[in-house]
Amino acid sequence: MKLIHVVGARPNFMKAAPVWSAISRMTNFNQILVHTGQHYDRLMSDIFFKELRMPIPDYNLNIGSDSHARQTAAIMVKFEELVNEIEPDLVLVYGDINSTVAAAIVCSKLLIPFAHVEAGLRSFDRRMPEEINRLITDRLADMLFTPSKDGDDNLIKEGTPKSKIHFIGNVMIDTLVRLLPKADKPNEFRNLKQYILVTLHRPSNVDDPKSLQSIITNLQNVSKSIPVIFPVHPRTKKMIADNSLVITENINFRLIDPLGYLDFLGLMKNAMTVITDSGGIQEETTYLGIPCITVRENTERPITISLGTNQLIGKDYYKIPDLVKSAINSPKRSNTIPPLWDGKASERIATVLLQHNNKNN
């Protein structure tokens, strides 16, 4: 069987790496890796391939940044040519980014079966571009690999046949389980015992200068009592620069470049609290039992609230200092690791693909 994996942006890499590895260990499928180039900076892309021991992509479509329509369309044009040339038996797409939905549409129209890894998640908020990507991708997918049972429930409610849905667990946790022992704080923070870790990049928080300024002002308040480490996403960095936001950098408020996987995981596993608007970090903190304050009005990952350590604060940015205080002062919130977040999700995908291949031969 000839398989294409499509990856494009930072959160795809830690999901595709373990699936690639499980398939190469458990099958003799011919695997081809396509990078759309949606993320292209060394710190947003290359470093992950090295750390996650991913092969160098066989093809890079070098798409880069653009508006949603232009970026998605550019990926579709180039990916269609590639699929016509390679003629794969199956394509694997990951997560909810523009590269995911672009590849999904191309495959559907060329009648190439495709599987969606991380299917069924819903924020029920169509203002989020990722929600649109999830809805379209899942609607078209031939195989849907879900990370949690709420994903199955959402898909069934939308009319997806049960036979297409496979609850296999969380592939991103496979990478975390494998690399946790190797992850450590970067050298410059090695002696720091207590700190808060922050990531922000959602358009709803960072594209409006007033919102971003308010978040930053609240984080600066927090940094008066505990150091704040903030690796800044390129989108956020641009907004800070373009709008000349007021930031007093000091030893307790550290804006740094985006980090590689191992450095970031090292900081996350030792943090007192994480403040984020990312999807994946809500899951990683739940697994690690680290309190997570999510600066969003909703989440497509409700299991991180019902079983994990996550809480949503929406746009109530003023709540950040008090919530940080109570997270630090109260005993560790008990967390349960969600079912099948056990480091073996990718092996389950490989098993399903083997069965699929045997049935078709």
* Residues with a known catalytic role: 201
Q: Can residue 125 be called a binding residue for ligand UD1 (CB under 6 A)?
A: no
In one-letter notation, the amino acid at residue 120 is G
In one-letter notation, the amino acid at residue 240 is I
Angle at 287 between CA 285 and CA 149, to 5 degrees: 110
Contact pattern from residue 7 through residue 26 relative to ligand UD1, giving x for each residue in contact according to CB under 6 A and a dash for the rest: --xxx---------------
Q: Can residue 121 be called a binding residue for ligand UD1 (CB under 6 A)?
A: no
Q: Can residue 37 be called a binding residue for ligand UD1 (CB under 6 A)?
A: no
Measured CA to CA in angstroms, residue 299 lies from 295, 304, 311, 323 at distances of 10, 9, 10, 18
**How far apart, in whole angstroms, are the C-alpha atoms of residue 244 and residue 247?**
9
Q: Can residue 235 be called a binding residue for ligand UD1 (CB under 6 A)?
A: yes
Q: Can residue 216 be called a binding residue for ligand UD1 (CB under 6 A)?
A: no
Exactly one of 15, 122, 134, 201 binds ligand UD1 (CB under 6 A); that residue is 201
169: which residues sit within 8 A by CB, 6+ positions away?
147, 339, 340, 341, 342, 344, 345, 348
User: Which residues are bridge partners to 273 per DSSP?
Assistant: 196
Exactly one of 21, 31, 98, 170 binds ligand UD1 (CB under 6 A); that residue is 98
Q: Name which of 276 and 309 has its Cβ closer to ligand UD1.
A: 276
Exactly one of 15, 21, 35, 40 binds ligand UD1 (CB under 6 A); that residue is 40
Q: Can residue 127 be called a binding residue for ligand UD1 (CB under 6 A)?
A: no
Taking CB under 6 A as the binding criterion, the range among 39-47, 165-173, 247-255, 265-273 that sits at the site for ligand UD1 is 39-47
In one-letter notation, the amino acid at residue 339 is P
Q: Can residue 38 be called a binding residue for ligand UD1 (CB under 6 A)?
A: yes
**How far apart, in whole angstroms, are the C-alpha atoms of residue 268 and residue 264?**
6
User: Which residues are bridge partners to 254 per DSSP?
Assistant: 229
Number of residues that bind ligand UD1 (CB under 6 A): 20
CA neighbor of 273 nearest in space, from 220, 301, 311? 311
Q: Can residue 118 be called a binding residue for ligand UD1 (CB under 6 A)?
A: no
User: Which spans of this chain sit near ligand UD1 (rule: CB under 6 A)?
Assistant: 9-11, 38-41, 44-45, 65, 96-98, 129-130, 201, 233-235, 238
